[in-house]
Amino acid sequence: MTEAYAHTLTHGHEEGSWFVEREEGGAWSAQGALLRLLHGGNLLPGLHALPLQHVPRGTALLHEGAAARCVYVIQAGDFKTVKTAEDGYELVLDFAGRGDLLGFDALASGHHASGAVALEDAAVHALPLHELEALRHASRAFDSALLATVSRQLERMGDAAWAMSAVGADVRVARFLVQLSTRMLERGQSARLLRLRMGRRDIASHLGLAHESISRSFGSLVEGGLLRVDNRDVEILDLARLQRHARCTRGLADEGPVRTSCDAPPLQAAALVHRPLGAAVQV
Amino acid sequence: MTEAYAHTLTHGHEEGSWFVEREEGGAWSAQGALLRLLHGGNLLPGLHALPLQHVPRGTALLHEGAAARCVYVIQAGDFKTVKTAEDGYELVLDFAGRGDLLGFDALASGHHASGAVALEDAAVHALPLHELEALRHASRAFDSALLATVSRQLERMGDAAWAMSAVGADVRVARFLVQLSTRMLERGQSARLLRLRMGRRDIASHLGLAHESISRSFGSLVEGGLLRVDNRDVEILDLARLQRHARCTRGLADEGPVRTSCDAPPLQAAALVHRPLGAAVQV
DNA sequence: CGATCGTTTGACGGTGCTCAATCACCGTGG
DNA sequence: CCACGGTGATTGAGCACCGTCAAACGATCG
């Protein structure tokens, strides 16, 4: 993770060919680099023109309730977004990585609705709100990418709710791992070998469980042959069964521990449109 | 709200009269009306120019997985946004009302990440995606309002996660009611007298509980003197205590049923880094 | 190498999920 | 008008699951 900064300089598909419309592509064009970042591509040298901020591991970049001055785009490192109760208990809403936005939930109220803590040494691009407006109107492409990214966040929160909604700790953990795997794949990394950047506590909070339950669930999944777990390194041995396990809605194992309990139907690709399922309506 | 549909046919937005560039106060302007809608104000007569769509109670306006063609702004009526599992079980992500957006989670992937079902007869404004782009670039105010509204949705999802994260069904229900009350207040309606537009099942799904637990929790809160419940009509008798109860992080009543158990400390702002967590949830 | 933190495992108790029956409320049709 | 099914809400009993407390184990870093 520390080596991530090394790449900051490389990867030069230069020329701001990204901004089709108005960007006359002067020297650098910060939003071109940001655009690339938002789309998951690699960074540009020109990115330095934007304020880059280092965030040491464990420190809070955003504070819940604080007045919003900037939003951030993660350049390197992973964060957790949290809601902290006044008694100190913190709820982990999501884990964010490179290309994700931080602080966007503050646009409506002017105050951050959640905090953000770096799970490891990280670097972010700071976007002061007024400059954000300027950037949006300077580049339609950037504007669209931004909106799309916010939309993706919305999607993510839905996925998180889905993970939390499962009955049975095993299933929640399975869902979490499937989501993590999917994200890694989208990021171009291995979908099988996961290095967890967060502790059991954070996972537990994110899934609405006790951290001991995370350990136990990992144990169950390992015993079921779905995983191999070594501290924070997780190897998915049987992704198909893990996904099937993640689909379990009701109580889990009707037999052994994690014996692929609720055998889901043969996994037919969900239709894109108009799923018949009689539950569409409800009166 | 039934008379609203009459105008469905009008919307002859030939010529770009939609985009009135800064609302120079001509007769009116569609995005001005939408803007007002997004901000929670009252409607304008001129709003009829926008495509208005009727959604009968119980029908799905959006289908999960379907290709995105429009996003919607609710004009009247309430919706639930749902994620449906292939076995028919549905997870209620959120409840949306007048002025809320529907379908915005599809912008990133092009497919709706969640469905939307009308809880009662409703009416929505349909915004085809291409026209949305046009509107955004025609009016900065509209564009900003839109972004702010999406941000508010993000906030909402965080609140929902907070509600689900509580240990103890009572606390979850309390949080749900507090949120509902707050929203009603923002909408200018009574914060004490709530008429639930959704069934116990939907609430249960939203909170990650069994629907029987909703009944029991209501019962507890009533016995504690916090509420008065008559079917779908809920009267909040003691909002302060309800809010205190909603702040409970750990196990609930250490004594009687809902005896304002965990008395919350004086609400000091939370520290910034590394707070030990202890709470968890359990469905 | 020792201190601190994170992870794992165990035992116990409680909460809520399951299953099931009852009641209240509606719109329908006899 | 009342009987009839259908849906939603409430209440009860039993037991599995997970949260809590506690202790051992392991990792990491100074």
Query: What does the pLDDT look like over A100-145, one tens digit per residue?
Result: 999 999 999 999 999 999 999 999 999 999 889 888 888 888 899 9
Please answer yes or no on whether A164 and B162 come within 8 Å at the CB atom. Answer: no
B249 versus A164: which is more confidently predicted? A164
Question: How far apart are alpha carbons A41 and A219 in whole angstroms?
Answer: 36
Mean pLDDT of B162-173: 96
pLDDT of amino acid B59:
94
- Do A58 and B274 count as a contact with CB atoms less than 8 A apart? yes
Q: How far apart are CA A106 and CA A109, in angstroms?
A: 6
Q: What is the pTM of this model?
A: 0.83
Contact B270 A150 (CB under 8 A): no
Among B270, B245, B282, residue whose Cα is nearest residue A89: B270
Q: Do A86 and B270 touch (CB under 8 A)?
A: yes
Is there a contact between A282 and B116 (Cβ–Cβ < 8 Å)?
no
Of A137, A112, A108, A143, give the one whose Cα is nearest residue A34. Answer: A143
Taking a C-beta distance cutoff of 8 angstroms, is the pair A123, A55 a contact? yes
Contact A234, A226 (CB under 8 A): no
Q: Does A58 touch chain B (CB under 8 A)?
A: yes
Is the CB of B89 inside 8 Å of chain A's CB atoms?
yes
**Average confidence score pLDDT of chain A:** 80
Tell me which of A88-92, B2-6, B59-63, B82-86 is least confident: B2-6
Task: Quickly give A283 CA vs D7 C1' distance in Å.
Answer: 9
Please tell me the distance from the alpha carbon of residue B129 to that of residue B254, in angstroms, as a whole number. Answer: 53
Chain A closest-CA separation from residue B22 CA (Å) = 14
Which nucleotides in chain C lie less than 7 Å from some protein C-beta? 6-11, 14-20, 25
Residue A65, classified by CB atoms within 10 Å of its CB into exposed (0-12), middle (13-18) or buried (19+), is middle
Q: Residue B30 CA to C3 C1' — how many Å?
A: 67
Higher pLDDT, A27 or A141: A141
Segment B196-205, tens digit of pLDDT: 999 999 999 9
Q: Mark B208-221 as b/e (b = at least 16 C-beta within 10 Å).
A: bbbeebbeebbebb
Cβ pair B151:A88 closer than 8 A = no
Of residues A91, A104, A148, nearest to B107 (C-beta): A148
**Could you read off the pLDDT of B218-229 as tens digits, one per residue?**
999 999 999 999
**Site from B150, B152, B243, B261 to mutate, A interface, most A CB atoms within 10 angstroms:** B150
Percent of chain A with pLDDT over 90: 63
Interchain contact B27–A (C-beta under 8 A): no
Which of B78, B112, B154 has the highest number of chain A CBs within 10 A, making it the mutation to test binding with A? B154
Residue type, B155: E
Residue of B nearest to A65 (CA): B269
d(CA B12, CA B15): 9
Mean pLDDT over all residues of chain B? 80
pLDDT tens per residue, range B128-143 = 998 898 888 888 888 9
What pLDDT, on a 0 to 100 scale, did the predictor assign at position B258?
A: 55
Instruction: With beta carbons under 8 A apart, name residues in chain B contacting A270.
Output: 65, 86
Cβ of residue B130 closer than 8 Å to a chain A Cβ: no
Q: Which is more confidently placed, B170 or B20?
A: B170
Report yes or no: B139 at the A interface, CB cutoff 8 Å: no
CB distance from A210 to chain B under 8 Å?
A: yes
- Residue A241 pLDDT greater than 90, yes or no: yes
Which residues are CB-contacts of B88 (< 8 A; sequence separation ≥ 6)? A277, A278, A279
Q: How confident is the model at residue A263 (pLDDT cuts 50, 70, 90)?
A: very low
> Which residues of A fall within a CB distance of 8 Å from B276?
88, 201
User: Which pLDDT score is estimated for B117?
Assistant: 97
Distance from C-alpha of B281 to C-alpha of B272, rounded to nearest angstrom: 23
Confidence class for position A3, pLDDT limits 50, 70, 90: very low
Examine the pLDDT at A277 and tell me if it is beyond 90: no
Answer yes or no: is pLDDT of B156 > 50.
yes
Q: Name which residue leads in pLDDT, A115 or B17.
A: A115
Angle at A160 between CA A159 and CA A163, to 5 degrees: 90
Tokens linked to B37: 């809608």
Q: Is the pLDDT score of A147 beyond 90?
A: yes
pLDDT at B171 over 80: yes
pLDDT at A31: 67
Q: Is the pLDDT of residue A268 over 50?
A: no
For residue A283, give Cα distances in angstroms to A144, A205, B121, B197: 38, 35, 11, 12
Encoded tokens for B92: 């209620």
> Is residue B213's beta carbon less than 7 angstroms from any atom in nucleic acid strand C?
yes
pLDDT tens for residues A37-62? 777 655 434 344 578 999 999 999 99
Three-state DSSP class for residue B177: helix
Inter-helix orientation angle A129-138/A140-165, to 10°:
120
Q: Please say if the pLDDT value at position B211 is more than 70.
A: yes
Q: Do A162 and B57 touch (CB under 8 A)?
A: no
Mean pLDDT of B47-63: 85
Joined tokens for residue A188: 């171009």
User: Which of the four pLDDT bands, split at 50, 70 and 90, describes residue B35?
Assistant: confident
Q: What is the pLDDT of residues B238-247, one digit of tens each?
A: 999 999 999 9
List the A60-62 sheet strands across, edge first: A60-62, A115-118, A79-84, A90-96
Tell whether the torsion through CA atoms of A18, A22, A28 and A29 is positive or negative.
negative
pLDDT score, position A190: 94
Write the DSSP assignment of chain A as a string of letters: -GGGGGGGS-----S-TT--SS----S--HHHHHHHHHTT----GGGGGS-EEEE-TT-EEE-TTPBP-EEEEEEES-EEEEEE-TTS-EEEEEEE-TT-EESGGGTTTSB-SSEEEESSSEEEEEEEHHHHHHHHHH-HHHHHHHHHHHHHHHHHHHHHHHHHH-SSHHHHHHHHHHHHHHHHHHTTS-SSEEE--S-HHHHHHHHTS-HHHHHHHHHHHHHTTSEEEETTEEEES-HHHHHHHHT--S---SSSSSS--S-----PPPPSS----GGG---
Whether the beta carbon of A167 falls within 7 A of nucleic chain D: the reply is yes
Q: Does pLDDT of A69 surpass 90?
A: yes
A274 and B164 in contact by Cβ < 8 A?
no
- Judged by a CB distance cut-off of 8 A, whether residue A153 touches chain B is yes
Identify nearest nucleotide to residue B211 by CA to C1′ distance: D9
The length of chain A in residues reads 283
Most B-contacting residue of A61, A63, A83, A89 (CB-CB within 10 A), to test interface: A89
Interface contact A208-B280, CB threshold 8 A: yes
Per-residue model confidence (pLDDT) at position B34: 73
Contact between residue A141 and residue A35 where contact means Cβ atoms under 8 Å apart:
yes
Is strand C less than 7 A from the beta carbon of A84?
no
Question: In this structure, which long-range contacts are made by residues A15-22, counting pairs with CB atoms below 8 Å and at least 24 apart in sequence?
Answer: A16/A46, A18/A141, A19/A139, A19/A141, A19/A142, A20/A140, A20/A141, A21/A139, A21/A140, A21/A141, A22/A138, A22/A139, A22/A140
Instruction: Determine contact: B208 vs chain A, CB below 8 A.
Output: yes
Give the whole-angstrom CA distance, residue A202 versus residue A91: 8
Q: Is the pLDDT of residue B37 over 90?
A: no
Q: What is the dihedral of CA A259, A263, A267, A271, to 10 degrees?
A: -130
